Amino acid sequence: MGTDLNAPLGQNRKVRPARRRDFRSLLGYSFVSLCAVTVVGLSAWSALFPDDLTRAPEAPELAAKGAVSAGETSATAGTTEAAGRRKSPLRPDAALSGAHVEEMLTNDGATVTQYTPRSRESDGPAFINVGPVRGQDPRMAALPNDDLLEQGAHGRLPIVGPDGLKPMDQYARPWSGARGTRIALVVGGLGLSQTGTQRAIQGLPPEVTLGLAAAGNSLQRWMQDARRDGHEILLQIPMEPFDYPDNDPGPRALRVSLSATKNLAELHRSMGQITNYTGIMNYLGGRFLADADALEPVMRDIGKRGLLFLDDGTSAQSLSGTLAGAFDVPHGFADLIVDSELSRSAILRKLDELERIARRNGTAIGVASAFEESVAAIAEWMQEAGGRGIEFVGVSALVNDPQQN
């Protein structure tokens, strides 16, 4: 038959001409392949050498020379650092941080700060400087901090340490820091009687601040015993009362009639007998405390040495608070003498009154002497008052410190 239906399959078909590959398509495939290879290569290079991608490009003239002189390096340093790594300005804490600080400017304009340890001068242990601290390790409480002492003509005298640490802070008794009702009790006259001194150190709770009389005996021994038991220490300096010489405060007393040089020499003789005390407390001294010319150089010296001054509150004419404020001396006034009447019941009533003052004002300072009746009554009352929410603290916690306010 003459139709295509009867023709054998696959025969008499038209032959199609061969397709020619488009040259533009070959170029497109080549470009895509080249891009893929480039991306893979850059990814591998950044993984193996990440610093090379963030490093500033080298100036052409430097690359050609291969090396530059010291002068040329400093001349191009600004240009190189502007596009790459640069040192950050010195920060206030950089000198103490122990870290090397660098800033890196990335290509998109972002700044990345990098901290790396500084090289150390030795292989010993590293110490972190946390600045001045309050209180002393109880195991070392009987030993002085040599950084807070200077050798003078009258012995070792307290000074502010090279890092600003004050004896008032170093030898202070730590406390909780809570702003509840707080009372500081100061028992003075230690060193005048061996029996009375032992009784006070052994019988009073460690929260009681002890005042060692400069005219006493074996003061270094009593200081060490008191510090081992956790007590804060004051040094009682004898001062001229209004009825002097009928009422004699004892040897090395500060007097209005003496020159400033002489009074400071007597003060330093007393100071040099012991260490580890937070401040000075007057013994008598109504007339001396009321004379601004006599008191001013003494108050200046106390403040310069990083000590506090506690006024026992017996003189209504005292100028200690006024002068302490003028010279930034940490200062406190006693609110009450708790053993003006020497009987157990009277002392307990005074202590109850001291508690009422503390609850009204938030804080209170009471002073007493190391009599047998006083020590027994104070120890008994403190045990009861502690159950009523009273916190007993060293006197340094309650003085007004202008540098801390």
What domains sit in the chain, N to C, each tagged with a CATH number?
53-60+82-88+99-115 (no CATH), 147-397 (3.20.20.370)
Band (pLDDT 50/70/90 cuts) for residue 277 is: very high
Short-list 248, 223, 224, 225, CA closest to 238: 248
Tens-digit pLDDT profile for residues 195-251: 999 999 999 999 999 999 999 999 999 999 999 999 999 999 999 999 999 999 999
Judged by DSSP in three states, 341 sits in coil
82, 52 Cβ separation under 8 angstroms: no
231, 210 Cβ separation under 8 angstroms: yes
Range 386-404 average pLDDT: 94
pLDDT score of 25 more than 70: no
Tens-digit pLDDT profile for residues 304-329: 999 999 999 999 999 999 999 999 99
Mean residue pLDDT of the chain comes to 81
Out of 11-15, 86-90, 171-175, which region has the weakest mean confidence (pLDDT)?
86-90
Contacts of 233 (CB under 8 A, 6+ apart): 171, 209, 210, 211, 212, 223, 226, 227, 274, 276, 277, 278
Q: What's the confidence (pLDDT) of residue 46?
A: 54
Q: What's the confidence (pLDDT) of residue 135?
A: 76
Number of helical (H) and strand (E) elements in the chain, helices listed first:
14, 14
Band (pLDDT 50/70/90 cuts) for residue 138 is: confident
Short-list 276, 280, 275, CA closest to 254: 280
> φ, ψ for residue 377 (rounded to 5)?
-70, -40
What gap in Å lies between CA 392 and CA 382, rounded to an integer? Answer: 8
Amino acid at 20: R
Q: What's the confidence (pLDDT) of residue 173?
A: 96
Q: What's the confidence (pLDDT) of residue 137?
A: 81
What gap in Å lies between CA 338 and CA 348, rounded to an integer? Answer: 8
Q: Which helix (H) or strand (E) holds 217?
A: none
Q: What's the confidence (pLDDT) of residue 24?
A: 52
Short-list 185, 191, 225, 125, CA closest to 332: 185
pTM of this prediction exceeds 0.75:
no
Tens-digit pLDDT profile for residues 348-377: 999 999 999 999 999 999 999 999 999 999
